[in-house]
Chains A and B, each alone.
Chain A
Amino acid sequence: MSNKNKLLRTSNFSESQDLNNIPKSKFKFAQKGKKLHDKAFETKPMSYLHDSWNRFAKNKASIVAGIIILFIGLFAVIEPLVDPRSYVDPIQYPSGFEDSSFALVRPYSPLFKDSGWWDGKEEKTIGEDDYNLLRFTDSNYERVELVEEVDDTFTIGVTEFHTLKYKVNVDSYAVGCKYVTVSAEDYNALVQYEKDNGIYKTEDSIMKPVVNSAEYIEEVGDELILKGLNISTVDGITDQMTNYYNNHQDVYYKLFPKLIDGQYSDTKFSAVLDSNDEPVPIYKTTDTGELVYETDKSGEFKIRVDYFDYFTYVNGFKPYYVFGANQSGQDIYLRLAEGARFSLLLGIGVSLINFIIGLIWGAVSGYYGGNTDLIMERITDIIGNVPTIIIMTIAQIQFTHSTTLEASLGSSGVLILAILLAFVYNGWIGVASTTRMQFYRFKGQEYVLASRTLGARDGRLIFKHILPNAAGTLITSSVLMVPGVIFAESSLSYLGIIDFSSSGISSIGVLLNEGQAASLSQNPHVLLFPALVISLLMISFNLLGNGLRDAFNTTLKGSE
């Protein structure tokens, strides 16, 4: 009884009743008179692309990769536009900016100028003559900085030889003084500029006193004859000395042939030092003892200038190279931007063309199947088995020999046509086979059958029903094609199979080729930056492609 009471108390029933016999009157239809409809979805509908985008956005690595690609793309487009080097006088620089005086200079960034690296300096261990050559300069910049003196020991047989070597930091931008020939007009402008800035004929002047080496070399010749050398030897030495002064225009002081094994050398010269260990200048002077700053050469002036400052004066910007310079003094930074621009454009362009051709080919082959498919597959088999390298070679030789093509497209146009042909020739096969597979997958499905039964034509089935489903896979495969094309192009131009030399185009592969030619052991910076950029591009494109593949793969939904 107490149990029942408890039950009654806890239940909502107000009175006790027999649940087995509930009277009919107590029942009523739950939804009587109401209209029953399907409920509207409370969740928002999501399109395939939206869904894919959401999943793509979750993939941090792909986003970063996309940003890097964007960044490189922006760099490639903007850098040539803003760099003053791309606007230099085309008459002075017919093949774009280059200055052989700054050939192979080290990378320099103003942000890192005191940090010990990326400061345009190069650490070297050099002998005394080379050290003196760099140490004694009348230019406005210190060319060399001594780190330490090294005792270089080597043994021949049992004898030990000691030579004093100098471990130094060479500032590769301080190229010293050089002779340049300018018109009278330019000369006057330069003089005016110096006067305006108060540096005319001072220590910091751009124009430096002219060196009178000819007179001095005669003195040396007389001295050597006095030392008992015969005339022809002396003539040989003085000729070489003249050459030496011409090749080392920074040398403003007395040199004397080096005494090697009791013989005066005609190739090695060392500085003549006074009692203070300073070189003895041999500037040209007027009869009144004033320094001469120019030689008049039939209306033109030959002047000796501090080349760094002179360059800055002429071009309006300092000759600093962020990524260093290559062997002909071109700016690697600028060329890399141009190269990346060409490589990216080529990669995207080729992928786009391949995508379109492959799509049509694969769609036809996959949709119709049967004998059509068989024949088309044979054709792709034949085309696909001829390596790009062969087509590239043949196309390039054939096109560059064709005078009609050359006349209508120009030498760079012909080359680009050959490259396009070689990459398009069998590049589309990948897209075609992907498309074909997708068509095989979807064409037998019920919704396609339903549409066909309703009278849809082939075109509608292909473009409306099958292609949208295959879009994800196809987009992924064409994004992944871009790095493939860039890689192939850079390998082929690195190897010299694509010969850009006459066209003036720079691609990353061309820069790699220059890097190889500049000797990896001596000048690694020429190769380093192009290699870095291409690696970065490859990694980013692969990451982006992988991210896209995962994003478009709807079967992965929920399992991540």
Chain B
Amino acid sequence: MQDTKETLKYILQRLILMVFTFIIIFVICFILIRLLPLDQATGAGQDPETFYKMQVALGRMYKVGVGEYAKTPVMSQLWTFLKNLFNPATYTATDGTIVTTSRWGYSWKISWLASPADLLTKGFPPTILINLYSMILSIPLGLIAGIYMALKKNKWQDHTMSVIVMLFISVPSFVYAFLLQYLFAFELGWLPAIRADFNGSWFSGEMFASMVLPVLAMSFGSIAGFARYTRAELTEVLTSDFMLLARTKGLSRTQATVRHAFRNSLVPIFPMILGQILALLSGSVIIESIFAVNGVGSLFLNSITMKDYDVFQFVGMFYILIGLVGTLIVDVSYGLVDPRIRMGGRK
């Protein structure tokens, strides 16, 4: 009971700390991004009048003269932003209707006046699907490879696989991506080179086929990572004293390994997997760019290359939040899974 209470207290502490960290990071990023030079909207269908009207409504600019606008100071922009979070500003559109502005600003370049939150939500399905497939592939394969290597420790199987694992960890993921794309899409022509939309269905066979290459490109690295980690953990457990005890009390090697070693070696690996589950939401920018996946990573990249600051800020903060929550989950679950780790810093 005492333990649960302490655990909860610890989690709460970490949570509060995380929120503070996030707020500080947010303020810093907000200021840095708002200091960037702003381009006027010039694209097709983007009239400067609406642009300025909305900038004024969002508290980023004020009217100096007829058709002349100046930037408001950054700190006052921040204040307006915070106010708008609770009570979104309104502006009068050209046809006289009163429109409530989006809390998070607007996409000015990628998709005129779309809300960044909507764009992000649209990016989720492909990103989550690809990450999920990659996870389903890489976790079991990685664990199996790691276990096999640990059981065959210092034999030729272990040595060969260690070399392969080392190669897969070192070689950048975009190099596999190129290799896979060249080999399977261009030379052999078995699979589509890029992910395309097939009638908007996420689960059709064609869609799956087009996702195979990005999934593979993403998986190689994490398979190798899991394998190396599992091998290290399992070899450590296999040489520990309780394994000797298990053998002495009469368990066969298989029994001892399956019942005692596996479960114990999974203790530090489980939090890693938990961390991955959260990372499902954030796409790999480079893989999504190579395979033209229109997911979260591509959105982030587009917002950077097209200088769409509101989307850049929103997606950037999303990535930061994922990172923070991920660390929190991993840290807390370490304590939950392994009773030897005391939480709350009591020494």
B35 with A398: CB separation less than 8 A: yes
Q: List 18 A-B contacts (CB under 8 A).
A: A385-B25, A387-B320, A389-B285, A390-B312, A390-B320, A397-B37, A397-B307, A398-B36, A491-B285, A495-B285, A495-B301, A527-B178, A534-B175, A535-B171, A539-B171, A542-B166, A543-B166, A546-B166
Are A520 and B178 neighbours in the complex by a CB distance under 8 Å?
Answer: yes
Interface presence of B324 (CB below 8 A): yes
What residues of A have a CB within 8 angstroms of the CB of B320 in the complex? 385-387, 390
Are the C-beta atoms of B172 and A382 separated by less than 8 Å? no
Q: Do the beta carbons of A494 and B286 come within 8 Å of each other?
A: yes
Chain A residue nearest in CB terms to B313: A390
Closest residue of chain B to A379, judged by CB?
B24
B296 within 8 A of A: no
A496 vs B179: C-alpha distance in the bound complex, in angstroms? 20
Contacts of B289-315 to chain A: CB distance below 8 A: 289-290, 300-301, 304-305, 307, 312
Contact of B170 with A539 in the complex, beta carbons under 8 Å: yes
Kindly state whether residue A259 has any CB partner on chain B within 8 Å: no
Known interface pairs A387-B323, A389-B304, A494-B286. Does A538 touch B171 (Cβ–Cβ under 8 Å)? yes
Q: Is B316 an interface residue (CB 8 A)?
A: yes
Q: CB < 8 Å: which of A393, A512, A539 contacts B312?
A: A393
Flag B212-255 by CB within 8 Å of A: 1 or 0 each. 00000000000000000000000000000000000000000000
A371 within 8 A of B: no
CB neighbours of B186 from chain A (8 A): 520-521, 524
Q: Which residues does B use to contact A, with CB under 8 Å?
A: 21, 24-25, 28-29, 32-33, 35-37, 166-167, 169-172, 174-175, 178-179, 181-182, 185-186, 193, 285-286, 289-290, 300-301, 304-305, 307, 312, 316, 319-320, 323-324
A490 pairs with B301, CB closer than 8 A: no
Tell me which residues across on chain B come within 8 A of A83, comparing CB atoms.
none
> In this assembly, does A487 line the interface, its C-beta being within 8 Å of a C-beta of chain B?
yes
Given contacts A390-B316, A495-B286, A495-B289, contact A385 B174 (CB under 8 A): no
- Could you tell me how many residues of chain A have their Cβ less than 8 Å away from some Cβ of chain B? 37
B-facing residues in A376-394 (Cβ within 8 Å):
378, 381-382, 385-387, 389-390, 393-394
**Contacts A386-B25, A393-B304, A531-B175: A401 and B169 contacting too (C-beta < 8 A)?**
no
Nearest-Cβ distance from residue B33 to partner chain A, whole angstroms: 7
List residues of chain A with CB within 8 A of the CB of B301. Answer: 495, 497
In the complex, what residues of A have CB within 8 A of residue B285's CB? Answer: 389, 491, 495
Whether B171 lies near A381 (C-beta < 8 A) is no
Q: Contact residues of A with B, CB < 8 Å?
A: 378, 381-382, 385-387, 389-390, 393-394, 397-398, 401, 483, 487, 490-491, 494-497, 512, 515-516, 520-521, 524, 527, 531, 534-535, 538-539, 541-543, 546
Complex CA–CA separation, A521 to B185 (angstroms): 9
- Min CB distance B109 to A, Å, is 14
The answer to whether B316 touches A382 (Cβ under 8 A) is no
The answer to whether B170 touches A535, judged by C-beta atoms less than 8 angstroms apart, is yes
B174 in contact with A390 (CB, 8 Å): no
User: Which residues of B sit under 8 angstroms from A381, Cβ to Cβ?
Assistant: 21
Checking B32, B178, B305 against A394 with a beta-carbon cut-off of 8 angstroms, the contacting residue is B32
Which residues in B have their C-beta under 8 angstroms from that of A542?
166, 169-170
Chain A contacts of B35 at CB under 8 A?
Answer: 398
Q: Contact at A387–B172, with CB atoms within 8 Å? A: no
In the bound assembly, the distance between CA atoms of A515 and B307 in angstroms comes to: 24
Contact present for B36 and A397 (CB under 8 Å)? yes
User: Contacts A491-B172, A531-B175, A542-B170; is A524 near B182 (CB within 8 Å)?
Assistant: yes
* CB-defined contacts of B304 to chain A, threshold 8 Å: 389, 393, 497
Bound CA span A531–B171, Å: 9
Assuming the contacts A385-B323, A512-B174, A520-B186, asked whether A390 and B29 have C-beta atoms less than 8 A apart, the reply is: yes
Contact present for A382 and B24 (CB under 8 Å): yes
Docked pose: A538 CA to B320 CA in angstroms: 27
| Further pairs besides A397-B36, A401-B37, A495-B286: 7, Cβ < 8 Å | A390-B320, A497-B301, A524-B182, A524-B186, A535-B171, A539-B166, A542-B169
**Complexed CA–CA distance, A398 and B31 (Å):** 12
Q: Which residues of A contact B33 (CB under 8 A)?
A: 394
Give the shortest distance, in Å, between A399 (CB) and chain B (any CB). Answer: 11
* Contact yes or no, B286 A491, CB < 8 A: yes
Cα–Cα distance between A288 and B167 once the two chains are bound (Å) = 72
Q: How far is the CB of B286 from chain A (nearest CB, A)?
A: 5
Contact B166 A491 (CB under 8 A): no
Q: What distance in Å separates the Cβ of A129 from its nearest Cβ neighbour in chain B?
A: 25
Q: How far is the CA of A479 from the CA of B312 in the complex (A)?
A: 33
Complex Cα–Cα for A129 and B16 (A): 73
Given contacts A382-B24, A497-B304, A521-B186, contact A387 B166 (CB under 8 A): no
Check A538/B170 contact, CB under 8 A, given A401-B37, A495-B301, A520-B182: yes
Expressed in whole angstroms, the Cα–Cα distance for A50 and B307 within the complex equals: 53
CB pair B305–A496 under 8 Å, yes or no, is yes
Contacts of B21 in A (CB 8 A): 378, 381-382, 385
Query: Which 5 residue pairs across A and B have the least CB separation, nearest first?
Result: A521-B186, A539-B170, A542-B170, A538-B170, A535-B171
CA distance A521 to B178 in the complex (A): 10
Please measure, in the bound complex, the distance between the C-alpha atom of A119 and the C-alpha atom of B28, giving whole angstroms. Answer: 55
| Bound Cα distance A390, B29 (Å) | 8
Task: Let me know if A394 and B36 touch, CB within 8 A.
Answer: yes
Docked Cα-Cα span, A390 to B285, in Å, equals 13
Q: B181 near A491 (CB under 8 angstroms)? A: no
Residues of A within 8 A of B175 (CB): 531, 534-535
Task: Please measure, in the bound complex, the distance between the C-alpha atom of A504 and the C-alpha atom of B2, giving whole angstroms.
Answer: 64
Q: Which residues of B contact A539 (CB under 8 A)?
A: 166-167, 170-171
Closest Cβ–Cβ distance, residue B206 to chain A (whole Å): 20
User: Measured between alpha carbons, how far is A487 from B170 in the docked complex, in Å?
Assistant: 10
Assembly CA distance A495 to B298 (angstroms): 10
Bound complex: CA of A382 vs CA of B285, how far in Å? 23
A539 to B175, CA, bound (A): 12
Distance in angstroms between the alpha carbons of A527 and B25 in the assembled complex: 38
Identify the closest chain B residue to A387 (Cβ).
Answer: B319
Chain B residues with CB under 8 Å of A521's CB are 182, 185-186, 193
A88 CA to B304 CA, complexed, in Å: 37
